[in-house]
Structure 1
Amino acid sequence: MRKLIILSLIVGLMSGCSTGTIITKEGTTELPKWHQAEKVIFNKDSGTFPNLQSLNQLREGMTKDQLYELIGRPQYDDGWRPREWNYLFHFTTPGQGSNNVTTCQFKVLFDQNMYARSFYWNPINPQDGVCPPVLIPPAKKPIAEKVSTQRYTLGADALFKFDKSDIQNLNPKGRVDLDNLIAELGKFKVLNAINILGYTDRLGSVSYNQKLSQDRADSIKQYLVNRGINPIIVNSQGQGSAQPVTECENNLSRTQLINCLAPNRRVVVDVDGYIE
């Protein structure tokens, strides 16, 4: 009986209060899960305002010591030798959030060798906020530059094979469209934030459309990261069939209806940065 109690205590210490995120040996996940925002154990109940320049230096392949030097210790309890670090970050965002502050959770996942491999954001306040917000302090920008916000809309039918969402199933035109987008991003002298929104049409169930739109947004994010875009500044969100840009009558044949709804199947990429 005593051995069972000791074993239970050891297991409890090792597991901590993990989020339950299932992490692959490569340090990725299909479904990041999050702590209750207020359950921080470091800087109790409040989180921190991160150094923006340090946050912008995070890269895949960093060790825990390197991350610690840049953004400090994790702020939630994930047990002993965790493969995820979780933070609660606040950003000064004039005109946005509560009292001009946007609050986000930030998650780092590690591979089996404890190298950082993937990064995730979760908006807390406002709940529909974009995380991360602008990461470069406006005071640092050269006078010769100006803030630029650009929106790029890519048709999902041109990007992906029917009902597909992974990079391996990109259409040839989809790869060309993404390479053109990367060329446009190259015109920015500084990239602050890239927000990728995936949309579907109204056909199919709500849960299916939500997952498909999220998977497609995630794939576009991965494509950009593979081409050298800093993953820290890229956020991907599935919107399902929300905000349709066209409406179609139900008395159409299925083929006609699918064709009519094509503009709703899209990926929107919002880019914030400095451009000459």
Structure 2
Amino acid sequence: MTNIIHRRIPALAVCAAALLALQGCSTYVSNGLADDGKSATQVVFPSIEDNSWRPEGTFPNLDNLRDVGPGLTKPQLYDLLGAPHFNEGIGAREWDYVLNFRSSGAVMVCQYKVIYDTSLRAQSFYWKPGACADMLNVKVAAAPPVATAAVMAEKPVPRQIQLATDALFAFDRSGVADLLPDGKRQLDGLAASLARARIERVNLVGHTDRLGSAAYNQQLSIARASTVRAYLMSTGLPSDRIFASGRGESAAVVQCRQTERAVLIKCLAPNRRVAVSVQGAEAK
């Protein structure tokens, strides 16, 4: 699109002292990573104290965490756990997280590392301390029985899904004709999942990176969310329950300081997304 020609990128120094750049400038990467991503001569965890983006970490969804396994792509891992917490970019072979768990009335802070192969598919996973892996075995207490089966059938099941727009559309594009094959498969999977539930409302919120003007990015975020809405409607989902909006560049999840354009675009990929919020009830 012609707008992209006029985009301006700030001339900031690579790997600024207070914020590690996302594309290969990290000093805490592990040593001797095998090409298949299944081993390393030394696994190195970054210091939480040096994390300038998200040192407090997150409380993960245990079901999502249990779904993490070998072969996942970065967009798939992003959908499950969100962006890495140490400013590691789309081309990095390691993503690190700070994950919090409640245990015996206290909060247990854990570090979780995912190592990718050279094709950037997740292959090996590490915990610090190692005992944190046991948190995946924690059983969730069963909910007390409800009065009737009808009430159970109408139990709300809110869901939050993040769709990486780079996996949906060609870069800087937003139309149905711009949907990539993998993007169509993602949307088909989402539509099939929604078709199995009693949907009350689906909110689609588009987001962009900071490249380009605020006005352009606002329009692009709305256009992408609207395209996802149109695609879901084309599969038979009711139009009066699907709503699309955009927030432009205002809700970034990563900050990047690269000056080389191609590297910067890759680094900012997590910001280019469509957030899906589903309200409804499980089908019997």
If the TM-score is normalised by the length of the shorter chain, which range does it land in? 0.3 to 0.5
Q: Give the structure-2-normalised TM-score.
A: 0.46
Q: Give the structure-1-normalised TM-score.
A: 0.47
Bigger relative CO (Cα 8 Å, ≥ 6 apart):
2
